[in-house]
Amino acid sequence: MSDKRLPGNTLASHKAGRTVASAPASIWRRTLEHRSFLAGSILTSLLAGMALLSLFWTPHNPTRINIRQRLASPSLEHWLGTDQFGRDILSIIMTGAQNSIMVGVVAVGIGLLFGVMLGLIAASAKGWVEELIMRVCDFMYAFPVILLAIMLVATLGSGAINAILAIGIFAIPTFARLARASANAIWSREFVLAAQAAGKSAIRITWEHILPNIVSVIVVQATVEFALAVLAEAALSYLGIGSQPPTPSWGRMLSEVQTLVFLNPWLAVYPGAAIAMTVLGLNLLGDGLRDVLDPRLVYKR
Amino acid sequence: MTLLTVDDLSVSLDTAQGRAQAVRDLSFDLGPGDTLGIVGESGCGKTMSALAILGLLPDNAVTTGAIRLNDRDLLNCTEAEWCDIRGNQIAMIFQEPMTSLNPVHPIGRQIMEGMFLHRALSKAQALEETIRLLETVGIQNAAERLKHYPHQLSGGQRQRVMIAIALANQPRLLIADEPTTAVDVTIQKQILGLINKLIDEFDMGLVLISHDLGVIAKLVERVIVMYGGVAVETGSVETIFSDPAHPYTCGLLSAIPRIDRSTHSRHKRLPTIPGVVPDLVDMPAGCTFSDRCSLATDTCRTVPPVPVVLSSHHQVACYHLDRARAQWQTGPR
Amino acid sequence: MKFFLIKRLSTFAATLFAATLLTFFALEILPGDPALVILGVDAPDSAVAALREQLGLNRPVTERYIDWISHFLRGELGVSYTYSVPVSELLRERLAITIPLALMAMALSVVIAFSLGIYAATHHNRHGDVLVMGVSQLGISIPNFWLALMLILLFAVNLGWFASGGFPGWYAGWWPALKALILPAIALATVQGAILARFTRSATLETMREDYVRTARAKGLNRRQTLWRHVLRNAMISVVTVMGLQFANLLAGTIVVESVFALPGIGRLILQSIANRDVVVVRDIVTLLVAMVVIINLVVDLLYALIDPRLRSSDV
Amino acid sequence: MNRPESNNTLALEVIDLCKTYVLPRDNLFRPARSVKAVAGVSFQIKAGQSLGLVGESGCGKSTLARLIMGLEIPTSGTVRISGSDIGRLSRKELQPLRRKFQIVFQDPFGSLDPRQTVSQIVAEPLEALETAPRTQIRTRVIAALDDVGLKNSDAAKYPHEFSGGQRQRIAIARALVTRPGLIIADEPVSALDVSVQAQILNLLQDLRDEYALTYLLISHNLAVVEHFCDNVAVMHNGIFVEYGLTSQIFQKPSHSYTKTLLDAVLPTPSHS
């Protein structure tokens, strides 16, 4: 035994894999002290709140066209002004939040469900099953999300659903790799051996030992993937292969105003800022969660 | 003349849990060719003491006291001066030969790196010296081996390479931190034999850090027993092992199972020290051992004992050393 | 090493093969008859049938796949339905924009990432580190096409330093051509660089905690020497992997950013071809892009073996 | 010192056990290399006796432990626990038998799930083996914790709240909870501080006396084995080079490897 148990940042037992934290009390303390976690949750709740509010109320009808009011500057009536069809920009942005959240939830849901399942199967089955699953994941990595979406759209036609599907499919290998890597790390621990020695089946071990120990990594990755999904959807809508009119979408707002930026630059600023703030909030939240949930778990993007 | 003087050295670490007092008021000196062992359990401050002598404490460490090498005050050295001393006058062997070598460089390069840093050598000279050094530490086919990468060597060979790196500039002082903990007993015997031979050959001072009393006894003349960051007992190897006076030392010695080829100790209970090694952040106010000591009184718990000089080679920090010695004499063994 | 190479090359081939299968058959179920697309919906049935015959559309699918793949491997791409020019010709023009753009963006992002990431790691928990991490967090969050728009607003509309889009062509001289690619490259590189910078930082920090770094310091190397000789090369092992994976995203980003800057590159071509139902072009481009990603990843793996001797030797 | 043997039944019998691992190929055109981790090992432990297994890293002792625990399938050979050949049993048939043998691992930090409470950890073998009512499980967990010197209130805590020695006690409680006859202890004290090591060794001894436990103690520390075991097996390159009474082997080692091993042990100077 050496002095490895000594606290201290460079000599601390970072590879000893010892649990230092995760006592409930210290989780709360760390949570409140963690600045990026706080900032992230505030931004994310803002987004969620905005989307929620827009379900019941927006300053104006986001789809109502009013040519006389087109390209109005910000005023008391239209806080952020109007677009080229006279629609209220604030209302569109608020409603657009719904779209982003929906895309994020569904796409991450698809990726999470299938990815984690595949990763856990790969880690518990080992051998050729693991090899096969991982090779398929590698293969999927060769298709960038946009390309995948383009192919889907090319075969099935444009539309929000296909875009979400493409984003979700693209997230599968990421979750699968992460789940497998973290699950393998847990499988090699002695407490799993102890559970095997106790006679537990691989499924029970996965459920009782593996999953609880990797859930924090998965949650962190889910927030990051949520952010990526919002970005990807915006890009696809911008290219015209994402959500279709009249559904308000931040990405499509940008493509619609592109020719007008020289007249009224703010038209391009608002939706972009909305995307950036959403993504920033989710990324900060993910970063914070990573530190708060478990400071020792290694994570890879 | 002394080579190394450590005077009232204290090391504390600022951690999330609070300030950890890793080493408290450690003092000793070492002449050229002297050998000193620091023995203790995990968290007793032995590795921190070693890293302090090498100026390699983590950034969150605060050091007070003095460390002098040939009368030069090391704690006031600039980083550049430290770099000139490390690997040149003081060298260190680490515990894990597996992770202590850089996996992406051939071993020859890792040995020569230190030579080029401190001496003006031509490439041919360095190469020649490296081959000689590898032969000295007992690696066969040295000329061939130096092109090898760490993962191509066995654990014992890697530790030999670590020793070669430490010896590259013939340091005056060698610090060995648990040099054999990660290797098998048969390899341990070879490595210890090698270190023993080399400190004679190179006339180096040795500070050996180990939790293993057997390793300590094999290599050094003088021992410091540390507990909770404090030197509780200091003395010659013979004194410490045959006539210990601190209750911790006594407890430690009797708790070790040993091979006694003549009698059977089987099924006999080992004497134990109750409790666990203290947390450095939350140390007893008085004697660091007071919460595990059967002899502890209120004074022990509140006022740290001052070392008592029993003989020229024996110092003990304990209020009840007479009772502890009496207990040891009539002890279970 | 030999075994590693063989194994790597065979997965490379298998991935490519699977990609061609997927692309080909996915596009087979594409609604819309190419013959109708070319001739228009009002064309007489006989003409459509003749064209189908001419295009070979009435042959069995597998036969057409084999035909396509064998031509593709020989570099003989099909003829575009809509442009009526060989796809290879189309591609040559377009790639002359997309590849320099991607390479510029990659180079730029690596420069950004390494300098910022290493700076942040060596100033861990100090102001510089916090600043770099904050900025890179922002960089990751900005959609690249929006950044592109903002760059146009600032540098083209307000300052007038660059054109707001379009491409003069390489025959206009290398500087005007390059100049047209600078803003798009910056837009692409910012996001990629920010991601890579964070990764470089964490990989460097991780490596700085290794035991062999302490050994290096104990030899008397100063912090700078330790960083350059012992930390970076080991940290690069993981950074290089991420760089490879990032390349796919970079290509995807190129498609979008070309659209913002109205650059006639591969991205624009593929979007137009989809709108036009030009299967031949879509098929070849998708395959080509996938091949590019796979080749980059192969290169990364080989690079990996160069950096890490543990992969090279046979006794692992 | 030989205690009277309670009976002559064999707690564990291993006959000609082999385990060969096929290494990943490094050359396509040559047959894959394989390594014999365990190359024909036979021994038996009588109920209530303790066998010490010593050897250096890579000698095959951990593989042997896993084979006996049924965590890996042997290439050939037989493992009989209390007379039943566990290799011939299906997973389902093996299940009820598992309560008779349990394992304690080396690393007190890795062998406990950080996300589970002590009572969940200790209850695991019970829950996996039988459908005992909750209250009964609870009682037996408390009893097992009591056996290893932990408090009732410790049951709700998480592993990270304990020191290394206490964690090893938790691991021992988990092994004890099914009231097994045989415990395989794989380096149970080598990760512990010397002062704590003695506590754990004493605990294992007390439990042996109280429950007539049979131990297979795997260790690289010869002194621990000499102190603890009736019989010793010295393992080298997958086989037993020497196997017999502890007193005999430590006094008169016959195999050269045993001699080397014993010679390498550093004598700790003790007061005479």
Are C217 and B80 a contacting pair at CB < 8 A?
no
D:25-64 residues touching chain C, CB 8 A cutoff? 25-28
Domain end position, chosen among B193, B220, B247: B220
**Average of per-residue pLDDT values in chain D:** 86
Are D109 and A199 a contacting pair at CB < 8 A?
no
Structure confidence by residue, pLDDT tens digits, C172-188: 777 878 888 889 999 99
CA–CA gap between residue A174 and residue A223 (Å, rounded): 13
Mutation target among D109, D112, D182, D186 for the A interface, most CBs of A within 10 A: D109
Are B257 and D229 a contacting pair at CB < 8 A?
no
Burial class (CB in 10 A: 0-12, 13-18, 19+), A17: middle
Other CB atoms within a 10 A radius of the CB of residue B71 amount to 9
The separation between CA B167 and the C-alpha centre of its own chain, rounded to angstroms, equals: 17
**Average of per-residue pLDDT values in chain A:** 78
pLDDT value of position C112: 92
Task: Assess whether B21 and B156 both reside in one domain.
Answer: yes
Task: Assess whether B207 and B294 both reside in one domain.
Answer: no
CA–CA gap between residue B261 and residue D252 (Å, rounded): 9
B139 lies in some domain = yes
Asked if C171 is an interface residue toward chain D (Cβ–Cβ < 8 A), one would say no
Task: For C178-196, give one letter per residue: b (16+ CB within 10 A) or e.
Answer: eebbbbbbbbbbbbbbbbb
Strand runs (DSSP E) across chain B, as ranges? 4-15, 18-30, 35-39, 61-69, 72-73, 90-93, 173-177, 205-210, 222-227, 230-236, 308-311, 314-316
Task: Assess whether B157 and B255 both reside in one domain.
Answer: no
Structure confidence by residue, pLDDT tens digits, C88-120: 888 888 888 888 899 899 999 999 999 999 999
CA–CA gap between residue A70 and residue A82 (Å, rounded): 6
For chain B, residues with pLDDT lower than 70 are: 260-267, 331-333
Are B257 and D223 a contacting pair at CB < 8 A?
yes
Q: What ipTM did this prediction achieve?
A: 0.82
Q: Which of A235, A239, A280 sits opposite C137 (nearest CB)?
A: A280
CA–CA gap between residue A264 and residue A252 (Å, rounded): 17
pLDDT value of position A258: 76
Q: Which residue of A has its CA nearest to C253?
A: A146
Are C245 and A141 a contacting pair at CB < 8 A?
yes
CA–CA gap between residue D165 and residue D173 (Å, rounded): 12
Determine contact, residues A233/A244, Cβ cutoff 8 Å: no
**pLDDT surpasses 90 at C231:** yes
Are C220 and B56 a contacting pair at CB < 8 A?
no
Task: Assess whether B196 and B284 both reside in one domain.
Answer: no
Q: Which two tokens stand for residue D204?
A: 């294992």
Asked if B25 is an interface residue toward chain C (Cβ–Cβ < 8 A), one would say no
Are B84 and C220 a contacting pair at CB < 8 A?
yes
The two beta strands, D214-219 and D182-186, are parallel
Determine contact, residues B42/B229, Cβ cutoff 8 Å: no
Determine contact, residues A251/A237, Cβ cutoff 8 Å: yes
Q: Which two tokens stand for residue D178?
A: 């099914």
Q: Which residue of A has its CA nearest to C156?
A: A262
Chain B hits for A10, Cβ within 8 Å: 58-59
Q: Total structural domains in chain B?
A: 2
Asked if B328 is an interface residue toward chain D (Cβ–Cβ < 8 A), one would say yes
**pLDDT surpasses 60 at A194:** yes
CA–CA gap between residue D71 and residue B2 (Å, rounded): 58
Task: Assess whether B255 and B213 both reside in one domain.
Answer: no
**Stretch D154-176: mean pLDDT:** 90
Domain end position, chosen among B192, B220, B248: B220
How many residue pairs bridge chain A and chain D with CB atoms within 8 Å of each other?
Answer: 81
pLDDT value of position A111: 93
Q: How far apart are the first and last CA of chain A?
A: 35
Gyration radius of chain C over CA positions: 24
CA–CA gap between residue C110 and residue C242 (Å, rounded): 11
CA–CA gap between residue C200 and residue C206 (Å, rounded): 10
Are A144 and C248 a contacting pair at CB < 8 A?
yes
Task: For D107-126, give one letter per residue: b (16+ CB within 10 A) or e.
Answer: bbbbbbbbbbebbbbbbbbb
**Stretch C286-302: mean pLDDT:** 84
Q: Which two tokens stand for residue D144?
A: 């097992």
Residue D159: its H or E element = none
Task: Assess whether B241 and B184 both reside in one domain.
Answer: no
Q: Which residue of A has its CA nearest to B22?
A: A6
Q: Which of B42, B186, B238 sits opposite D193 (nearest CB)?
A: B42
Given pLDDT bands bounded at 50, 70 and 90, which one contains residue A299? very low
User: Mind telling me how many Å the CA of A76 is from chain B's nearest CA?
Assistant: 50
CA–CA gap between residue C198 and residue D21 (Å, rounded): 41
A:91-110 residues touching chain B, CB 8 A cutoff? none
Domain end position, chosen among B220, B243, B259: B220
Are B103 and C229 a contacting pair at CB < 8 A?
no
Least confident of A210-219, A249-258, C78-87, C215-224: C78-87
Between C307 and C314, the higher pLDDT residue: C307
pLDDT value of position C29: 66
Structure confidence by residue, pLDDT tens digits, B219-235: 999 999 999 899 999 99
Helices D256-264, B185-202: crossing angle, 10 deg rounding:
50
**pLDDT surpasses 50 at A301:** no
Q: Which of C212, C220, C315 sits opposite B86 (nearest CB)?
A: C220
Are A1 and D111 a contacting pair at CB < 8 A?
no
CA–CA gap between residue A251 and residue C275 (Å, rounded): 19
Are B101 and C212 a contacting pair at CB < 8 A?
yes
**pLDDT surpasses 60 at C232:** yes
Q: Which residue of D has its CA nearest to C311?
A: D26
Determine contact, residues A251/A233, Cβ cutoff 8 Å: yes
Structure confidence by residue, pLDDT tens digits, D89-127: 887 888 888 888 999 988 777 889 988 999 999 999 988
Helices C127-141, A266-293: crossing angle, 10 deg rounding:
120
Between B122 and D266, the higher pLDDT residue: B122
Are D26 and C6 a contacting pair at CB < 8 A?
no
Residues 6+ apart with CB under 8 A from A29: none
Task: Assess whether B139 and B282 both reside in one domain.
Answer: no
- Neighbours of A, requiring at least 3 CB pairs below 8 Å, are B, C, D
Task: Assess whether B239 and B170 both reside in one domain.
Answer: no
Q: Which residue of B has its CA nearest to A12?
A: B58
CA–CA gap between residue D36 and residue D60 (Å, rounded): 9
Q: Which of B86, B99, B149 sits opposite C313 (nearest CB)?
A: B149
Asked if A197 is an interface residue toward chain D (Cβ–Cβ < 8 A), one would say yes
Task: Assess whether B47 and B146 both reside in one domain.
Answer: yes
Task: Assess whether B272 and B185 both reside in one domain.
Answer: no
CA–CA gap between residue A281 and residue A47 (Å, rounded): 9
Q: Which residue of D has its CA nearest to B212?
A: D194
Are B276 and D163 a contacting pair at CB < 8 A?
yes
SS3 B53: helix
Are A261 and C152 a contacting pair at CB < 8 A?
yes
Least confident of A153-162, B175-184, D133-142: A153-162
Mutation target among D23, D25, D26, D35 for the C interface, most CBs of C within 10 A: D26
Asked if B251 is an interface residue toward chain D (Cβ–Cβ < 8 A), one would say yes
Q: Which residue of C has its CA nearest to D28?
A: C3
Are B56 and C315 a contacting pair at CB < 8 A?
no
Given pLDDT bands bounded at 50, 70 and 90, which one contains residue A30? low
Question: What single letter denotes the amino acid at residue D231?
Answer: N
Are A18 and D109 a contacting pair at CB < 8 A?
yes
Task: Assess whether B196 and B312 both reside in one domain.
Answer: no
> If DSSP states are collapsed to H, E and C, what string results for C278-302?
CHHHHHHHHHHHHHHHHHHHHHHHH
**Stretch A234-258: mean pLDDT:** 80
SS3 B269: coil
Tell me phi and psi for residue D240, to 5 degrees. -80, 115
CATH of the domain at B125: 3.40.50.300
Task: Assess whether B141 and B48 both reside in one domain.
Answer: yes
Closest-CA residue to A194 (of C32, D270, D127, C275): D127
Given pLDDT bands bounded at 50, 70 and 90, which one contains residue C297? confident
Asked if D71 is an interface residue toward chain A (Cβ–Cβ < 8 A), one would say yes
Q: Which of D163, D265, D268 sits opposite B185 (nearest CB)?
A: D265
Between C29 and A243, the higher pLDDT residue: A243
pLDDT value of position B231: 92
Residue B184 belongs to what domain range?
A: 4-220
CATH superfamily entry for domain C87-275: MetI-like (1.10.3720.10)
Given pLDDT bands bounded at 50, 70 and 90, which one contains residue D214? very high
B182 lies in some domain = yes
User: Mind telling me how many Å the CA of A113 is from chain B's nearest CA?
Assistant: 37
Structure confidence by residue, pLDDT tens digits, C59-73: 777 888 888 888 777
Chain D hits for A16, Cβ within 8 Å: 109
Chain A hits for B280, Cβ within 8 Å: 6-7
